[in-house]
Amino acid sequence: MNTENLTPTEDLLVDLLTARVRLGEQLWTVETRVRKSVESLNKRGVIDYKEGIVEHTLLIWFTADGYKKYITDSTYEVPMLRRLKPKTRQKVLDVTLNWQGTHID
């Protein structure tokens, strides 16, 4: 997976999807006007996509490699988790990671 030299739009799409996944969403809808960037991220192995349900939209989600890089291996921790005791924080993380899948059929 190649994530070097992302364009500003590609970087923004990765940030958008990362934020949505952290909030519990596994995929997100974007307008087809960013299709070129979506296709580039797909070729790089970061995201997968398909046509959206609503006209002129695409559904995007992380590939397993993209999920690992931007979510699993990320050092970011939401403020709420920082305030929890270590044992409680680990329980929350375990439940969340077991609950969230990375593949969309």
Q: Provide the residue-wise pLDDT of the chain in tens; the chain has 105 residues.
A: 778 899 999 999 999 999 999 888 989 999 999 999 999 999 999 999 999 999 999 999 999 999 999 888 877 776 777 777 778 877 877 776 666 554 444
Whether 45 is in a domain gets the answer yes
**CATH number of the CATH domain containing 54:** 1.10.10.10
- Please, where are the H alpha helices in 1-105? 8-22, 35-43, 64-67, 79-82, 86-99
Cα separation, 93 vs 105, in Å, equals 25
Task: Identify the bridge partners of residue 61 per DSSP, sorted by sequence position.
Answer: 48
Residue 34 sits in which domain range? 8-99
pLDDT at 39: 97
Whether 2 is in a domain gets the answer no
Cα separation, 105 vs 94, in Å, equals 24
Count of domains for the chain: 1
Side chain identity at residue 38, one-letter code: V
Whether 24 is in a domain gets the answer yes
Whether 81 is in a domain gets the answer yes
Whether 3 is in a domain gets the answer no
Whether 1 is in a domain gets the answer no
Whether 75 is in a domain gets the answer yes
Q: Model pTM?
A: 0.73
pLDDT at 22: 85
Whether 79 is in a domain gets the answer yes
